[in-house]
Structure formats: C-alpha cells, structure tokens
Amino acid sequence: MLRFYAGKGGAGKTTCAAAAALALARGGKRTLLVSTDPAHSLGDALGARLSASPRPLGGKLYAAQMDADRALSRWLGVRERSFRALAARGTYLDDEDIDSLFRLSLPGVDELVGLTELRRLSRGFDEVVVDTAPTGHTLRLLAMPATLARLAQVLDDLQAKHRALARSLRGSVRRDAEDALIDELQEEARSLHALLRSANAQFHWVMLPEELALQETLDGVSALRQSGLRVERLIANRLTPKADGPCSLCLARRAEEARVLQQARAIGLPIYGVPEQAREPRGFRDLSAVALALRAPQRSQRIRNSTPRRSTAPVADGDWLEDVAGAEVRLVFFGGKGGVGKTTAAATAAISIARRGDRVLLLSTDPAHSIGDVLDTAVGDQEREIEPRLWAREPDAARAFERRREKYRTAVEELFAALRGGSSFDAPYDRAVMEDLIELAPPGLDELFALLAVIEALQRYPVVVVDTAPTGHALRLLELVGKAREWVQVLLQIQLKYRRVTGLGELARDLTGTARELRELQQLLVDPRRSRFVAVTRAAALPREETARLLSALKRLRIATPALLVNAITPPGCSRCRRAAAAEEEELRRLRRIRRGCAMLGAPWIAPAPRGGEALARFGRTWTRME
C-alpha cells in the first residue's frame, strides 16, 4: 500500500507521515517511510541520519530520503546506450552534439524519476508512507506517468526513421534494444498510472486550520480527484488547545480554526485533528502522541462568535526596510521552509516598498500560488495593480508553455515548407519528432517559466519582490540560471553548426536574446547592492535546521542574505503561550549563531493572519530588529 501525505508546505506532512509510519510498523507491517521533497526534513523529525537507501530504525520501520540526481544517474546509466543510439538514428546530430546534450543537467528530475524510484525502493515492504514535496510539485510528481508516455512517443518517432530505412534496405525490421527501451517506458507509464488509481494507493491531505491552507486544500484535493486519485481524509494539524487563562492569541486562533474547519467539511472528507504539541515532535516518543491523535476523526467545533477575535501585537517603528530593500536593490527573494509565512512576508515588504515611493511587482514563483489570498484580491497570470505603485502576478506556467508551443508549431510549419522545396530530407519523420518535442513538457516547467517571468519583470519594474516555492524548489530556481545558460549555449552551438540545413530563424534569435538575459540575471544575483534573499523562518527546531541549510546553499551561490526574518513569535499570554515563548527564546539564541552576519528581524504571531493591503501594512509596522 502506498500512502501519500500531501499538502501545503509547513502543514506538518513530515510529522504526520512519520507518525503514521511508526503506527503501521508497530502494528506488525514491514513499513518504509520515504521523503520525496528535495529539501528533506524527515531525518530531522525522526532524529536520525538518513540516506537514499532504506535504513532500519528499529522493529519493522525503515526510512529513506530520495536522492533524485542519484536516482536519475542510475536510471540513465543502464539505458544511455539506447538513448544515444535513438538520438543518432532519428536526428542529424553527431556524437559530439549528443555528448554535449547528455552532459547537461535537467531541472525537475525529482518529479521525472520520483515514482519510478519510489517503486524500486518499495520492493519487500508491506506499507510505504510517502512524505511529499509541497502541493504544486507533488501534483507534478503524480503527472509523471503521462510525461513518461510522451517521452516514449518521442523515442518511438526517432526509431521510426530507422525502421523505414531498414525496410527499404533489407525488406524487414529486426527488433533491437532500442525497441525494448521504448516498450519498457510505455509499460512503465501504463503501470504507474494504474497503480496511482488502484486500491493500493491513497492520499492523506495535511492542512493547517488557516485561511491560506484552506484555499490550497480546496484546490489540491480537487486536482487529485479530477485525476482519479483517492483522497482518504483531511488532517488538520496544530490545533490550538483551550487556554488555561485569558489569552487573546489563543482565543483568536481557536475561533479562526473553528471557522476554517467548518468550511473544510464541505470537501466531504473525514477530518482528523492533531492538537499542537507542547514541543515540536521529534523522535519516536513525540511521534507516538501524534499517531494517537490520527486514530479518530475530529468532532465538529461550535463557533461562539461569527467574527473571530483578532489578536493584537505591539506596533514598532519598523526600521527594517533598509535591510530588506535599500535604494539600489532591484530584486528581493523571500524564501524558506513551507509554512513559515514567506508569502505574507513578501507581500508585506512589497507594500512597504510601494508606499515608500518605488514602483514594484510582487511575483509568485510557487506553482501553488497564494499571494492573491494574502492580498485578499484576485491575482492571476496578468499583472494587476493592487494599489498605487504596487502590481502583483501569479504566473501560469502551463499557459505560458502553451503560448511557446504555438509559436514553435508555426516555426516548424515554416521550416518544413522550406524543406519541401527540393530537399532530400525524410521530412515526415523529422516533422513527427519535432512536433513531439514541442508537446513534451520539460520536467522543470514551473522553475523554467518562473525564471523567464523574473527576467521579463526586471525589464519593466525598478523593484521585483519574489515569493518563492519552499526551500528545495527555491534553490532549484536559483541554480537554474546557470544551468539554463549552459542549455542555451549548447543549443545555439548546435543550431550554428547546422545553419545551412535549418537556417538561423526565430529560434536562434530567441536563444541569443535569452542567453543575454540569463547572463544579466546571473550578474544581478551575485551583486549584493542590487539583489537580496530574505530567509524567513520560525523559532522552532525543524525550520531552524532547514534555514541553516538554506543559508549555506545561498552562500555557495554567492547570493546576499542581509536579513533573516523570524516570523510568528509568540507574545505573552496564557501558561501554554509562556511555555512556547520560552522554547522560542532558546531557538532564537540558536538562530543568532547560524545567521551568518545578517540582520535578524522578528514578527509577532497574529491571529487570524493579516490579509489585504492595510492589514499587511500594519503587520509590517510590528517587525523589529532583534540584535
């Protein structure tokens, strides 16, 4: 049985998946717990060092953290000869060209090979519990069988040219290793598609009882159901316990949570509630308490007042804006572990910059967009003016890719119209391959078009604020700048080599322009005066440990991180809040040790979370420097 734990970043997927796996193993099932998130935190939650190979953790429980690059290398290693043969047979590329392409790395390999690797790891286990990446990238992982089927079609069209030539020369066609590879990919696509829709696969959606998480839950569960996948239940994580005394924060949180859960019941799934634990769950003892809460559905809560009471926070003078976006800054990224408040922080900063007098675009590069929810207004693929000097956009990668496909379909028509004029090329086969390649979406589609959206925005806005996907995919976006330049340079070299055949048409002009823009963006990213990354975190162990890895990765990429924002700091209140604040104070001391010289900013926990321009502006005035 495959049990996927999915949901918005930071909702507690890792904790709930680990607790469920522990319960299954203690029930006598040989259980594998595996993470497919590129920013793994499973080892942190278990308090164990994990690798890409299943590690025994005691009893019948094993755990692994998938290494997508290693899995792809293994998968390609046994098939590379056939891939090279098909490329040589079906294209006009020589060995040097094929070598250049094989040396390039692809973004999105975790989605491309994730399910295949997951099935390989699953052999010999009764139960497999999957801790997934956040919503947008999980949905792309689950679409992998269709991508694999399209890849098989491309290879089959490449092989068709070889088959036609063999028939003309020998009168018959012998099946070879390349035909076997195509059959293997087609069968893998069919079987994975069937597995995900069988009784042996189920999905558990984890959410926080908050408005932003609710909207993503509605969209995510709907997408799973439309794909024919079985969603078993909703898990509402970190429910606020009843306060033991007067506490404005707890009262406001409980009222908001009850309202959100009432709306969530419209989805038609049982809701299991997990109370917020006295400390962040780590290790088997803490996870056992979570497993106990996952045994029975949550009972409906009554709402005392129709309007939730809002907690208040002291207003500070807020001298943080210079740390985040000084006068020369053009590009500001907000990133961190899912659920720490990146989107709210990015929107708050964008509003503050606009009200300072700068023209700014707030841009989402997370495929599960939520800036419209935070701004409390509809935001889509077209830029929308939110208030004076502030625009917002949530790029639609699929729509942008379709526009590009239509553009290149026209280019293919023009090319083959020219080739028919006395050319000896076997045009029908070449046309089929090129049309298939246009239809084949790259695995890193979201990152690719997010990158293009950033480049385009910088040409028209003095300041661009980027709300990124959670850590692993945010880093993949930043790393893509250099990788995309390598791809463009190789493709340009190949087109120049064959310019007598293909001409230097619109594609070459596009590639040349893209190469220039990527070079300019690469230079901008490493200029600390003009580009900055604000790491957003919370004063808790798992976010802190992921933040440490994020800061190390940004240093390796030479991207400036002048500010670290610690969000949702608990104010004084009931005894539970006082205990939480004491634990946070210890985490703040640890964060100060890892911040690598950047300014540390603090923002209080406010319930319900701020939504809309005025509420976000007020929230920004509560941010303080924490030295």
pLDDT digits over 539-586, tens only?
A: 999 899 999 999 999 999 999 999 999 999 999 889 989 999 999 999
Average pLDDT in the 407-419 region? 61
DSSP H helical segments within 325-419, as ranges? 342-356, 371-375, 397-419
Q: Could you give phi then psi for residue 6, rounded to 5 degrees?
A: -125, 170
What pLDDT was estimated at residue 319? Answer: 79
Contacting residues for 543 by C-beta, under 8 A, at least 6 apart: 10, 336, 337, 340, 537
Quote helix, strand, coil % in the chain, to nearest 5: 55, 15, 35
Q: How confident is the model at residue 418 (pLDDT cuts 50, 70, 90)?
A: low
**Both structure tokens of 82:** 């056939």
DSSP-derived secondary structure letter, 268: -
Instruction: Give the residue with greater pLDDT, 439 vs 134.
Output: 134
Q: Can you give the CATH number for the domain in which 41 is found?
A: 3.40.50.300
- Is pLDDT above 90 for 404? no
389 and 248 in one domain?
A: no
203 and 155 in one domain?
A: yes
**Within a domain: 414:** no
583 and 468 in one domain?
A: yes
Other CB atoms within 10 Å distance of the CB of residue 95 = 10
Residue pLDDT, tens place only, 156-165: 888 887 788 7
What pLDDT was estimated at residue 305? Answer: 45
335 and 235 in one domain?
A: no
The domain boundary, picked from 276, 293, 310, lies at 293
Q: How confident is the model at residue 348 (pLDDT cuts 50, 70, 90)?
A: very high
Mean pLDDT of the chain: 86
Average pLDDT in the 175-197 region? 94
Per-residue CA distances from 306 to 214, 257, 303, 605, 609 (Å)? 18, 12, 7, 22, 17
**Within a domain: 411:** no
**Within a domain: 302:** no
Q: How confident is the model at residue 303 (pLDDT cuts 50, 70, 90)?
A: very low
169 and 234 in one domain?
A: yes
Whether the Cβ atoms of residue 347 and residue 356 lie closer than 8 Å to each other: no
138 and 42 in one domain?
A: yes
- 132-146, 228-242, 559-573: range with lowest mean pLDDT: 132-146
| Residue 27 to residue 24: CA distance in whole angstroms | 5
Q: Is the dihedral of CA 354, 249, 276, 316 positive or negative?
A: positive
552: enclosing H helix or E strand: helix 541-556
What pLDDT was estimated at residue 448? Answer: 75
- Cβ burial of 105 (10 Å; 0-12, 13-18, 19+) is middle
Residue pLDDT, tens place only, 307-339: 545 555 555 545 799 989 988 999 999 999 988
Give the per-residue SS3 of 195-243: HHCCCCEEEEEEECCCHHHHHHHHHHHHHHHHCCCCEEEEEEEEECCCC
Whether the Cβ atoms of residue 82 and residue 155 lie closer than 8 Å to each other: no
- Cis, peptide link before residue 608, omega less than 30° from 0: yes
| Residue 107 to residue 102: CA distance in whole angstroms | 14
Q: State which amino acid sits at residue 234.
A: L
375: left (phi over 0), alpha (psi -120 to 50) or beta: alpha
Query: What string of DSSP letters covers 12-27?
Result: SHHHHHHHHHHHHHHT
Whether the Cβ atoms of residue 149 and residue 186 lie closer than 8 Å to each other: yes
**Within a domain: 466:** yes
DSSP-derived secondary structure letter, 279: S
Residue pLDDT, tens place only, 146-156: 888 888 888 88
- Is pLDDT above 70 for 26? yes
583 and 456 in one domain?
A: yes
96 and 206 in one domain?
A: yes
**Within a domain: 474:** yes
Instruction: Give the residue with greater pLDDT, 119 vs 492.
Output: 119
What pLDDT was estimated at residue 488? Answer: 80
Instruction: Give the residue with greater pLDDT, 474 vs 301.
Output: 474
- 215-229, 355-369, 505-519, 576-590: range with lowest mean pLDDT: 505-519
As a whole number of Å, the end-to-end CA separation of the chain is 50
For residues 158-171, b (16+ Cβ closer than 10 Å) or e, as one string? Answer: bbbbbbeeeeeeee
**Both structure tokens of 264:** 């969530």
361 and 260 in one domain?
A: no
Ranges 32-41, 259-268, 444-453, most confident: 259-268
What pLDDT was estimated at residue 144? Answer: 86
DSSP H helical segments within 38-108, as ranges? 42-46, 68-77, 80-90, 95-102
332 and 289 in one domain?
A: no
What pLDDT was estimated at residue 420? Answer: 55
Say which residue the tokens 């929230």 belong to. Answer: 619
What pLDDT was estimated at residue 483? Answer: 82
| Residue 26 to residue 20: CA distance in whole angstroms | 10
- Is pLDDT above 50 for 123? yes
Whether the Cβ atoms of residue 197 and residue 229 lie closer than 8 Å to each other: yes
Q: What does pTM read for this prediction?
A: 0.84
**Within a domain: 315:** no
Average pLDDT in the 186-197 region? 95
Contacting residues for 292 by C-beta, under 8 A, at least 6 apart: none
Average pLDDT in the 186-211 region? 95
- Is pLDDT above 70 for 407? no
Whether the Cβ atoms of residue 23 and residue 119 lie closer than 8 Å to each other: no
- Is pLDDT above 70 for 301? no
| Residue 344 to residue 253: CA distance in whole angstroms | 17
Q: How confident is the model at residue 516 (pLDDT cuts 50, 70, 90)?
A: confident
Query: Which long-range contacts link 222-228 to residues 24+ away (Cβ below 8 Å)?
Result: 223/139, 224/6, 224/139, 224/142, 227/142, 227/143, 228/197
**Both structure tokens of 148:** 């694999």
- Is pLDDT above 70 for 374? yes
- Cβ burial of 464 (10 Å; 0-12, 13-18, 19+) is buried
Greatest Cα-to-Cα distance within the chain, rounded to the nearest angstrom: 89
Domain count, the chain: 2
Whether the Cβ atoms of residue 566 and residue 540 lie closer than 8 Å to each other: no
Whether the Cβ atoms of residue 337 and residue 10 lie closer than 8 Å to each other: yes
What pLDDT was estimated at residue 426? Answer: 47
Average pLDDT in the 413-441 region? 57
- 182-186, 309-313, 372-376, 513-517: range with lowest mean pLDDT: 309-313
Compute the CA torsion angle 409, 415, 421, 424 (nearest 10 deg).
Answer: -100
| Residue 112 to residue 150: CA distance in whole angstroms | 12
Contacting residues for 110 by C-beta, under 8 A, at least 6 apart: 36, 38, 66, 68, 133, 137, 141
**Both structure tokens of 136:** 């947008």
Instruction: Give the residue with greater pLDDT, 134 vs 377.
Output: 377
**Within a domain: 407:** no
Q: How confident is the model at residue 6 (pLDDT cuts 50, 70, 90)?
A: very high
What pLDDT was estimated at residue 5? Answer: 96
Report the share of the chain in percent with pLDDT over 70: 87
**Within a domain: 467:** yes
Residue 386 belongs to what domain range? 321-399+438-625
232 and 91 in one domain?
A: yes
195 and 270 in one domain?
A: yes
